[in-house]
């Protein structure tokens, strides 16, 4: 059987998403900037998408801007706000376990003369609010903290951080990368002090190549893509209407049955953890239970290289990851930076796999994966010792 447990990398589209995208691509295919009826039809999909997302986040429709995905959203948030506010200061804050789309953008900004503070994390992958408080300065113009870590499933104290930032310096902008958190949690930017929020479509059973950035209307930010002036000049380029419609439909599906789906995911996650920890030499990284995300499980298998076990599982039709999909095939990049940041020893860093679930994951798949691990792990360890 096929057992897909790499949903933090990407997800299977909902049938309803494929259906609406086909409708837009094959029938309602107009350019939303056109003034004729085909253009009007296309524009209606954009309005529908903004309405769906704005209602979920409880924000204004005009504060939603569509992008090509989480990476572009992160780049626009960081670069656009840093350049627009540089006269107020050049100090930025982020964490040591951010996605490469944040870390590499911060490195770029350092090259442009900005100063970046990287907050450490504890052994569970969480920042300490006292470290954030200590790092804040009068010239801090932006703080960027991810909601849910893509490798560990660790949750950051986003609401508490938002309150702290605004209390210390109301002018400091707060950006949250919610690529792994949106669709699993109710995130309310206005209530949580979040000025900008990044989301990607393909993590919530929507299409690849689309996402959005929430930007509070009071935020001073400049565009980084120029051209036809679409989306009020904030993000030029003809809108990807089929993908945007698919993104909105996926968001509707995710939040239509959120509590029940999340409870089921936590039950499946616990079932997997209870099963895999019956093996000797296995360690769960990060917190478990509801103190962590419902869909991400980081497991170290002492004595077995992660790539070896990954491909052994693949031969059984079980698909997992050895880290962030954006960097797990690039040795020495941010895939291992997260594990280093939590203090994982070197041997375990090279023996870690990420199992990630979705609303499509079944108990049968969990049992199938566990049975394969019960067979493979002892065998691979014997082979390694030879």
**123 included as an active-site residue:** no
Report the C-alpha gap between 278 and 115 in whole angstroms: 46
CB 34 within 8 A of CB 233: no
Cβ-in-10-Å burial (0-12, 13-18, 19+) of 283 comes to middle
Higher pLDDT, 41 or 337: 41
Compute CA 332 distance to the chain's CA centroid, rounded to the nearest angstrom: 21
* Cα 281 to Cα 59: distance, rounded to the nearest angstrom: 47
Q: Which pLDDT band holds residue 184 (cuts at 50, 70, 90)? A: very high
What's the rounded Cα separation, in Å, for the pair 114 and 246? Answer: 37
User: Among 2, 145, 7, which residue's Cα sits nearest to residue 74?
Assistant: 145
Average pLDDT, integer, range 21-27: 98
Is residue 159 a contact partner of residue 126, using CB atoms and an 8 Å limit? Answer: no
Same fold, 3-11+258-385 and 15-255: no
Average pLDDT, the chain: 95
Whether pLDDT at 333 is above 80: no
- The pLDDT, as a whole number, for residue 323 is 66
Beta pairing, strands 115-119 & 91-95: parallel
Predicted pLDDT at 332: 41
Q: Over 60: is that where the pLDDT of 256 sits? A: yes
The CATH code of domain 15-255 reads: 3.40.640.10
278-319: per-residue pLDDT in tens? 999 999 999 998 999 999 999 999 999 999 999 999 999 999
Closest CA to 65 of 251, 212, 262: 212
Q: State yes or no: pLDDT of 211 exceeds 70.
A: yes
* Predicted confidence (pLDDT) per residue in 55-86, tens digit: 999 999 999 999 999 999 999 999 999 999 99
Domain boundaries, the chain: 3-11+258-385, 15-255
Q: What percent of the chain has pLDDT over 70?
A: 96
Q: Which of 150, 159, 246 is nearest to 205 (CA)?
A: 246
What sign has the CA pseudo-torsion 186, 325, 350, 4? positive
Joined together, the tokens standing for residue 235 give 């993000």
What is the per-residue pLDDT for 331? Answer: 46
Which of 3, 26, 123, 326 is flagged as catalytic?
A: 326
| Over residues 242-250, mean pLDDT | 98
What per-residue confidence (pLDDT) applies to 382?
86
- 3-class state of residue 131 by DSSP: helix
Does the pLDDT of residue 127 top 60, yes or no?
Answer: yes
Under CATH, which number does the domain 3-11+258-385 receive?
A: 3.90.1150.10
| Mean pLDDT along residues 9-38 | 97
Mean pLDDT score, 176-192: 98
Confidence of residue 383 (pLDDT cuts 50, 70, 90): confident
The answer to whether 94 and 104 have CB atoms below 8 angstroms apart is no
pLDDT at 170 > cutoff 80: yes
Q: How far apart are CA 300 and CA 344, in angstroms?
A: 10
As a whole number of angstroms, the distance between CA 216 and CA 213 comes to: 10
């Amino acid at each position: 059987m096929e057992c897909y447990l790499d949903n933090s990398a990407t997800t299977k589209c909902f049938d309803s998403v494929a259906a609406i995208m086909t409708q837009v691509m094959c029938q309602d295919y107009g350019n939303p900037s056109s003034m004729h009826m085909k253009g009007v039809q296309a524009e209606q999909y954009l309005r529908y998408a903004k309405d769906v997302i704005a209602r979920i986040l409880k924000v204004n429709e005009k504060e939603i801007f569509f992008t090509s995905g989480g990476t572009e959203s992160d780049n626009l948030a960081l670069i656009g706000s840093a350049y627009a506010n540089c006269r107020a200061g050049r100090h930025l804050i982020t964490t040591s376990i951010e996605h490469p789309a944040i870390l590499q953008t911060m490195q770029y900004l350092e090259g442009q003369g900005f100063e970046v503070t990287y907050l450490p994390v504890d052994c569970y992958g969480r920042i300490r609010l006292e470290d954030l408080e200590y790092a804040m300065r009068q010239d801090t113009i932006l703080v960027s903290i991810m909601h849910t870590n893509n490798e560990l499933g660790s949750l950051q104290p986003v609401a508490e951080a938002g309150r702290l930032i605004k209390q210390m310096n109301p002018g400091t902008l707060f950006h949250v990368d919610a690529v792994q958190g949106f669709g699993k949690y109710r995130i309310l930017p206005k209530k949580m002090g979040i000025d900008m929020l990044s989301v990607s479509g393909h993590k919530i059973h929507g299409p690849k190549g689309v996402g959005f950035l929430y930007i509070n209307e009071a935020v001073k930010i400049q565009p980084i893509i120029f051209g036809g002036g679409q989306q009020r000049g904030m993000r030029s380029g003809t809108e990807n209407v089929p993908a945007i419609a698919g993104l909105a439909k996926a968001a509707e599906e995710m939040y239509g049955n959120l509590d029940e789906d999340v409870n089921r995911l936590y039950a499946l996650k616990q079932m997997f953890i209870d099963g895999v920890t019956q093996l000797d030499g296995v360690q769960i990284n990060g917190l478990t239970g509801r103190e962590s995300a419902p869909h991400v499980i980081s497991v170290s298998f002492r004595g077995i290289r992660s790539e070896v076990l990954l491909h052994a599982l693949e031969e059984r039709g079980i698909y997992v990851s050895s880290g962030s999909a954006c960097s797990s095939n690039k040795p020495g990049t941010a895939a291992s930076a997260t594990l280093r940041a939590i203090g994982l020893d070197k041997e375990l860093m090279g023996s870690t796999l990420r199992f990630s679930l979705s609303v499509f994951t079944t108990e049968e798949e969990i049992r199938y994966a566990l049975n394969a691990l019960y067979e493979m792990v002892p065998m691979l360890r014997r082979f390694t010792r030879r």
